[in-house]
Amino acid sequence: MFDFDLEVKPILEVLIGKTIEQSLLEVMEEEELAGLRAQQVVSLLKWDLRVFQYRCISFGSVCLRRTVMLNWSKHRDYRNKKEGATKKRFKYSSPAN
């Protein structure tokens, strides 16, 4: 006669074992994907930081050049005014002929 427990138990053990094995593989795959996503986020953040730093440096150098040019132009204007005032002073202070 057919003994259900004796005949079905080995089949159930194989099915349950394969199901658990597949489940564990899926969990490991999900963990690996989560790790890859985390690495991608970190890489993107590092990239964004590099771009930000580059833009700050570029902007800083543009600002520095503008400041230098502005200061140079102010110095030149001051020098020209000073030279103009000096010339006027000598023009008026020179003896009349």
Percent of the chain scoring above 90 in pLDDT: 39
Q: Is residue 96 domain-resident?
A: no
The first and second tokens of residue 6, run together, are: 């004796």
**Residue range of the domain that includes 44:** 7-90
Alpha helices in 1-97 (DSSP H): 4-93
Q: Considering its fold, how many domains does the chain have in total?
A: 1
Residue 78 in this model has a pLDDT that exceeds 90: no
Average pLDDT taken over every residue of the chain: 83
Q: What is the distance between the alpha carbons of residues 47 and 52, in angstroms, rounded to a whole number?
A: 9
Q: Is residue 62 domain-resident?
A: yes
Write the CA distances from 24 to 5, 13, 96, integer angstroms: 27, 16, 109
Dump pLDDT digits (tens) for 1-21. 778 888 899 999 999 999 999
Q: Is residue 97 domain-resident?
A: no
Dump pLDDT digits (tens) for 32-63. 999 999 999 999 999 988 888 888 777 777 77
What integer pLDDT is reported at residue 88 of this predicted model?
64
